[in-house]
A and B are shown apart, each in its own frame.
Chain A
Amino acid sequence: MATTTTERTTRQDQPGRPPGDLPAVPAWRRRLWPYFLAVPALLVTVFILYPFVLSAWYTLLDYAARNTGNVSVVGLQNFQQVLTSATFWGAVRTTAIYAVVTTAVETVLGVGIALLLYRASRIGSIFEKVLILPLMIAPAIAGVLWRLMFNSQFGVLNYLLGLGSFDWLGSSTALFSVILVDVWIFTPFVAILVLAGVRSLPREPFEASAVDGAGWFYMFRRLMLPMMWPYILVAVIFRFMDCLKIFDHVYVLTAGGPGTTTTTLQIAAFQNSIVFSNYSLGATYMFLLWALVFITARYLVSVLGKAQRRAAGAED
């Protein structure tokens, strides 16, 4: 009752004009406005989700180019076939090694570079401008570039390092080399995220502990690292998840070879679905990879949430 009265008074105060909080537009229309704005994006999302769902459906069929005429539902047969195949577990192993090693190396190097740049020396400020260059080149083009450098006969790497005709992409070295290229491309990603994080940290705790006579390492471990942790985690999440589905530069460099030494899960799926045109088998690989990515994402995001809360607490 009270509100109605107030409204009426306001209305009488300003005749002919909609009062303050513009109920000129009815409330239901105002409430629908955000939905209205989001509808196009929602439609596109649904359209994009359709192939995802279709892909999940493929895993239950025996859909391949050779039998497009009579596709039938085979239940979980594809999963049985994939989960008992050495190729799949080999790809899982390669992907796991790739993702763990790459993320670890890039995190350590990225944090190191960020801290070095944070010192703000003259050299550092020049380097900071060009830090992101490798990151902005298409990974596929970076793959081409490194293939030229890795070339065992004419490649510049063997010439400069005096390695003779060392085979960078041989069966015992290829995985190392594709990881090296990933480190070359993506370490700057970790570095610029962490650098932005370090710069946003408050100065007071460091000044206080410097007054208390704390050493550099103590401050790094007890203060800086916990406060930087959320930024490092964001970078780790992006890198680790991308590594699980890595394709571009690895495919350009080795196409999964020699043999299956660099066949990651997405390359294995590519071979099954596109090269051998067995869509159902490829889709099963992808479904399993998707499940892996999803579970990892859930876990890492919950870790990030905890770290952010802790860092916020530390800053108070």
Chain B
Amino acid sequence: MASELMPGQRRLTPTAVGADVLLVLWFVFSLFPLLWLVLLSLKTSAQQTSTYFAFSPTLENFATVLSDEGTRLTSVNFLSALLSSVLSCGGAVLVSLVIGIPAAYAAGRWRFRGSDDLMFTILSFRFAPELMVIVPLFVIYNQIGLFDTKLGLIWVLQLVTMPLVIWILRSYFEDLPEDLEQAALLDGYTRRRAFVMVALPLVRPGIAAAALLAFIFAWNSYIFPLILTGGTNGTITVAVARYLGGGGQAYYNLTAAAALIGALPPLVLALTIQRYLVRGLSFGAVKS
């Protein structure tokens, strides 16, 4: 092991080459579908099923998907789904931050009565089968008029965003040495000011990572909007899946363009928070 930590030493041994070959195999499998998606999204309707790799690329599909023309062809209003996703996912993350940050601070800093119960109940939302909540909410939403609304979606997305925000941030607050707040308290700060002015700015990277990751997961969620929205407030995942849904003519090139637009925001966001990803994905359990 120790010798492997020195690069130049084993550059061309059979083991090293073998390891690289295995890695390349995985990454061909892993990246080819994405490459394929890009290729398909650049084809014209005439080429979508007649060619594989040789074609003259066009960006027209992206314009079509976002325009009324696309809605007419596929009966999917993609632009409205995009807007709905941005607003409801953004809203859900904001609500989770406002509610979650103080709770994460309390749970990370103090062990008060019931804190563990509360934290584990919140974590269990992450692992509970979604339909268990959705079925009653489907009935309730239909009764009180929250069905197919952004507000209804923001509410149910708390199941996705809140556990993530609270658990990630609790691990950040736990790591924060208490001395700094103590010093602030000695200087006459109130507890509230010590929290807002001292602790909060220090975990800012954690807050950003948690918020972006929560946004990604809300954006990627499918089963909640699939059941709890109808035609007007459906999100991007529902819209993309609908391209292949109904009968009629299939537009694979438009489907690919829509899928690519839907996949891009999480990809870009994930690359910006790559350093914090492991900790976020494991809900603070693994720190790197």
Contact = CB atoms under 8 A, between A and B. Distances in A.
Interface of chain B, main secondary structure:
helix
A133 B267 contact: yes
B36 A149 contact: yes
A25 B34 contact: no
Contacts of A206: 1-2
A295 B42 CA distance: 48
Interface stretch (A77-85, A169-177, A269-277): A269-277
Interface in B189-236: 190-191, 216, 219-223, 226-227, 236
B42 to A, nearest CB: 14
A129 B23 contact: no
Nearest to B279: A196
A244 to B, nearest CB: 8
A145 B278 contact: no
Interface in B82-125: 98-100, 102-103, 105-107, 109-110, 112, 115, 118, 121-122, 124-125
B185 A58 contact: no
B286 A231 contact: yes
Given A148-B256, A293-B128, A234 B100 contact: no
B132 A283 contact: yes
Contacts of A132: 270, 274, 277
B255 interface: yes
Contact of A200 (B29, B241, B288): B288
Contact of B30 (A139, A156, A188, A297): A188
Contacts of B191: 25, 30, 33
Contacts of A184: 29-30, 33
B129 A286 contact: yes
B30 to A, nearest CB: 6
B33 A140 contact: no
Contacts of A129: 271, 274
A156 B256 CA distance: 13
A207 interface: yes
B115 A38 contact: yes
A156 B52 contact: yes
A133 B31 contact: yes
Contacts of A135: 270
Q: Place the interface of chain B in its size category.
A: 35 or more
Contacts of A138: 219-222, 236-237, 240, 262-263, 266
B166 A55 contact: no
Contact of A45 (B3, B109, B121, B262): B121
A145 B37 contact: yes
Contacts of A265: 129
B108 to A, nearest CB: 10
A245 to B, nearest CB: 4
Interface stretch (B57-65, B67-75, B133-141, B145-153): B133-141
B109 A136 contact: no
Interface in B246-272: 252, 255-256, 259, 262-263, 266-267, 269-271
B136 A58 contact: yes
Contact of B135 (A148, A216, A238, A273): A273
B99 A289 contact: no
A140 B240 contact: yes
A289 B135 CA distance: 14
Given A42-B118, A127-B23, A210-B2, A159 B281 contact: no
26 contacts: A34-B106, A41-B162, A44-B162, A45-B118, A45-B121, A52-B132, A121-B20, A127-B27, A129-B274, A132-B274, A134-B33, A146-B33, A148-B36, A154-B49, A189-B281, A196-B288, A207-B1, A235-B282, A238-B281, A241-B127, A245-B129, A266-B129, A269-B131, A279-B138, A283-B132, A283-B136
Interface of A: 17-18, 20-22, 25, 30, 33-35, 37-38, 40-42, 44-45, 48-49, 51-52, 54-55, 58, 109, 112-113, 116-117, 119-121, 123-124, 127, 129-149, 153-154, 156, 159, 184, 187-189, 192-193, 195-197, 199-200, 203, 206-207, 210, 216, 219, 224, 231, 234-235, 238, 241-242, 244-245, 247-248, 251-252, 265-266, 269-270, 273-274, 279, 282-283, 286-287, 289-290, 293, 297
Given A22-B188, A48-B125, A134-B34, 9 more contacts: A41-B100, A51-B132, A54-B140, A132-B270, A148-B37, A196-B286, A247-B131, A266-B130, A273-B135
